[in-house]
Amino acid sequence: MSTANQQPAIRLAVVGHTNTGKTSLMRTLTRDAAFGEVSDRPATTRDVRGVDLLVDDTALLSLFDTPGLEDPLGVVEALAAQGEAPDPVARIDAFIAGDHGQGRYEQEAKVLRQLRASDAALYVVDVREPMLARHHRELRLLADCGRPLLPVLNFVAHEQADAEAWRQGLARSGLHVLADFDTVVYDHGAEQALFDKLQLLLEAHRDTLASLAAQRRQQRGVLIDDACACVAGLLVDVAGAQQRASLDEAIGLQVERLQARVRQAEQTCVDTLLELFRFELGAFVSPELPLQQGRWELDPFDPEALRVLGIRTGSAVAAGAVGGLSVDAMLGGASLGTGAAIGAGVGAVVSGYRSFGRHWLDRVRGYRTLVVEEHTLALLCARQLELLRALLRRGHASTARVAVGAVSGWPGGALRGAVMRARSHAYASRLNGATAPDAALLAPVAIALQEALDARR
């Protein structure tokens, strides 16, 4: 039997006034941009719906999205009209069991019923709004359900936010432990803090909450690794991309073809990133790459190309010499080392041909090879890095498109070095037909990307 169908350990209701971002909080906490319906209007959510958070396929915590409280004052009046009750909780239970003021407070009754059925509640507030008398009444009503409440200050990253006023107001209602958590501008630290604070509220479930928080930390790490590997793959592919084309054709057309391939690769990378982050496809469309011109293949004075040539020629010379030497040995030394010398020469020639000769030969045969300019590479790299940063700060409640500001030039020397290394390794580029990325080229780029990300976080 799988344990997947068992009751989760913790049940947490998400409650609050209408239009404060309860469904948005659900989306961000579950990383599910398609959950429920979100709109800037009252009474968008009208049913109670649960989501289980799983760790190793086991549901540890259930979150319940509820309709917004719209008329807490009406409920208070209806409660008063019910007559005597031994205690506030009993009064609430009687209200839930009754006809909810002839069905007028159906929506509020759903919230109270779910809260009674839960271990605790996240009370979502919109800190752009002032804290008003009705919020205090609302809180008292919720407190009467006898469940711990953790206020979640939504919209804290908004320019109109006044979190301090809410802190003071909530303290006056007896709520001193609260979590700052903007559902649109995601902050990983704030989410961890939210789980920490829940641990204070739900002593009995400390371990469960801790393992949930740990899983989220681990997932965040994996996400960053995967995303960096994805971008690194793109950079290695584009850096090594070569397009062999006839000298007879106009270079403009050929450059356009190369541009189209690079753009396609970039969009694929963006789509993969969006999928890794679980945002809806189309949340980001990369603007046109200003890819003015492809540069002639492999600048012979490019330091990296020279370095690679040096290594290759060195080893080839050695190999040739060893080969020659062994022929010398087999001939009993009669050749007096000429074998070694010839071998070394052959090695150098073979290696040189492999590095440059092919392109020169191509040139003679009437072909040119186009590669992507460094300027374009730098831009691509900077933009992907900015996109990564934007995605890391985006909550799943966000309905706006991802915006990436203007970028220019390489984001860092280490990144430049790592990407430019891939330039001289055309065989590793999937744009030239490689089936899988070359780990040895990709890893340094991915590491440099992570460092660049860390540098500004």
Ligand X SMILES: Nc1nc2c(ncn2[C@@H]2O[C@H](COP(=O)(O)OP(=O)(O)OP(=O)(O)O)[C@@H](O)[C@H]2O)c(=O)[nH]1
Quick check: 376 binds Mg ion (CB under 5 A)? no
- Token digits for 18? 């209408």
Please choose which of ligand X, Mg ion, another protein, none residue 48 contacts, taking the beta carbon within 5 to 8 angstroms, the exact cut-off set by kind.
another protein
Cα dist. 312→239, 307, 318 in Å?
Answer: 20, 9, 10
Quick check: 41 binds another protein (CB under 8 A)? yes
When binding is defined by CB under 6 A, the residue of 4, 6, 34, 43 that contacts ligand X is 43
Q: Which is nearer to Mg ion, 19 or 259 (CB)?
A: 19
- Torsion 295-301-307-311 (CA) sign: positive
Contacts of 204 (CB under 8 A, 6+ apart): none
* CA nearest neighbour of 413 among 381, 384, 390: 381
Cβ density class 250-280: b for 16+ within 10 Å, e for less: eeeebbeebbebbbebbeebbebbbebbebe
Write each residue from 70 to 109 as x if it is in contact with another protein (CB under 8 A), else as -, in one continuous string: xxxxx-------------------------------xx--
Region binding another protein by CB under 8 A among candidate stretches 142-150, 169-177, 188-196, 320-328? 320-328
Report the nearest approach of ligand X to the CB of residue 17 (Å): 7
Write each residue from 256 to 285 as x if it is in contact with another protein (CB under 8 A), else as -, in one continuous string: -----------xxx-xx--xx-x-------
- Using CA atoms, how far apart are residues 225 and 230, in angstroms rounded to an integer? 9
- Token digits for 23? 């469904």
When binding is defined by CB under 8 A, the residue of 14, 16, 24, 35 that contacts another protein is 35
Q: Residue 56: phi, psi to the nearest 5?
A: 50, 50
Q: Give Dmax over CA atoms of the chain in angstroms.
A: 119
Cβ atoms 228, 388 nearer than 8 A: yes
When binding is defined by CB under 8 A, the residue of 21, 154, 287, 436 that contacts another protein is 436
Write each residue from 2 to 31 as x if it is in contact with ligand X (CB under 6 A), else as -, in one continuous string: --------------x-xxxxxxx-------
When binding is defined by CB under 6 A, the residue of 64, 155, 279, 284 that contacts ligand X is 155
Quick check: 43 binds another protein (CB under 8 A)? yes
- Token digits for 311? 């290594």
Quick check: 154 binds Mg ion (CB under 5 A)? no
Quick check: 352 binds another protein (CB under 8 A)? no
Q: Which is nearer to another protein, 400 or 406 (CB)?
A: 400
Q: Which is nearer to another protein, 128 or 375 (CB)?
A: 128
Region binding another protein by CB under 8 A among candidate stretches 139-147, 192-200, 350-358, 361-369? 350-358
- Torsion 202-68-91-95 (CA) sign: negative
Report the nearest approach of ligand X to the CB of residue 358 (Å): 56
Quick check: 438 binds another protein (CB under 8 A)? yes
Q: Which is nearer to another protein, 233 or 255 (CB)?
A: 233
Write each residue from 196 to 235 as x if it is in contact with ligand X (CB under 6 A), else as -, in one continuous string: ----------------------------------------
Report the nearest approach of another protein to the CB of residue 40 (Å): 5
Name the 3-class secondary structure at 154.
strand
**Between β-strands 179-180 and 10-16, what pairing exists: parallel, antiparallel or unpaired?**
unpaired
Please choose which of another protein, ligand X, Mg ion, none residue 411 contacts, taking the beta carbon within 5 to 8 angstroms, the exact cut-off set by kind.
none
Question: In one letter, which amino acid is 436?
Answer: A
For residue 150, the cross-strand partners are 122
Contacts of 176 (CB under 8 A, 6+ apart): 170
In the region spanning residues 396 to 455, those forming contacts with ligand X, defined by CB under 6 A, are: 397, 399
Cβ atoms 379, 408 nearer than 8 A: yes
Quick check: 45 binds ligand X (CB under 6 A)? yes
List of long-range contacts for 360-368, beta carbons under 8 Å, 24+ apart = 362/244, 363/247, 366/246, 366/247, 366/248, 367/244, 367/245, 367/246, 367/247, 368/244, 368/245, 368/246, 368/247, 368/251, 368/254, 368/296, 368/297
Q: Which is nearer to another protein, 129 or 374 (CB)?
A: 129
- Binding stretches for ligand X (CB under 6 A): 16, 18-24, 38-40, 42-45, 67-68, 154-155, 158, 182-184, 397, 399
